[in-house]
Amino acid sequence: METAVEEKGVVECTAFNSTECRGAITGVRDALYVLNGKWKIPLIVALSEGPLRFKDIQRSLGDITPKILSKELKELELNEFVIRTVYSTTPVTVTYQLTPYSRSLDKVMKELKDWGIQHRQRIVASRKANSSN
C-alpha cells in the first residue's frame, strides 16, 4: 500500500468538473440504487432463464435465507423487475418471473458476468504464478 515518493511534477486534475463525468456518476449511482445489495443482481440472473418457484430460487442461490429472499423479491417486484404469480394448486404454487422491462438489464448483466469470469481466472492464474516461486 505504501508508495514511494516520486519527484515528477504535479498532474493537473481537471476531470472532476466535467459535466460528462458528473452525468456518468449520476447514472451509475441511479443504477446501483435499485440494484443495491448482495442479492438483486444474482437473483435477476437466476430468473433469466425462466420462471422459478420460491424454493427453487433458494436452491439456485445456495445460501440465501427465506427472510432475505422474500424481502429482495418484494423490492424487485416494486421496481418492476419481477412478477409474482400464484397458482391455486394443492399445495399452492408461486412463481417469480422477470418482466419485459428487466430485459433492459441484459447487457449490464452480460458484461458483469463476463468480467467476473475473467477476473476469477486472472486471480487463479496469479495465485498459480505465486505458488510456483
Partner DNA sequence: GATACCGGTATCCTTTAGGATAGTAGTATC
Partner DNA sequence: GATACTACTATCCTAAAGGATACCGGTATC
List residues binding DNA (CB under 7 A): 36-39, 53-56, 63-68, 70, 84, 90-94
Least distance CB 133 / its own copies (angstroms): 19
Among 19, 34, 103, 129, binds its own copies (CB under 8 A): 34
Among 65, 67, 86, 131, binds its own copies (CB under 8 A): 86
d(CA 70, CA 27): 28
**Residue 22 exposed, middle or buried by CB count within 10 Å (0-12, 13-18, 19+):** exposed
CA distances from 73 to 29, 37, 42, 45 (A): 21, 12, 12, 13
Among 71, 103, 114, 125, binds its own copies (CB under 8 A): 114
- 3-state secondary structure (DSSP) of residue 83: strand
Least distance CB 79 / DNA (angstroms): 13
Does residue 13 belong to the site contacting its own copies (CB under 8 A)?
Answer: yes
The neighbouring-strand residues paired with 97 are 83
Here's the x/- map for its own copies, 41-60, by CB under 8 A: it reads as: xx--xxxxxxxxx--xx-xx
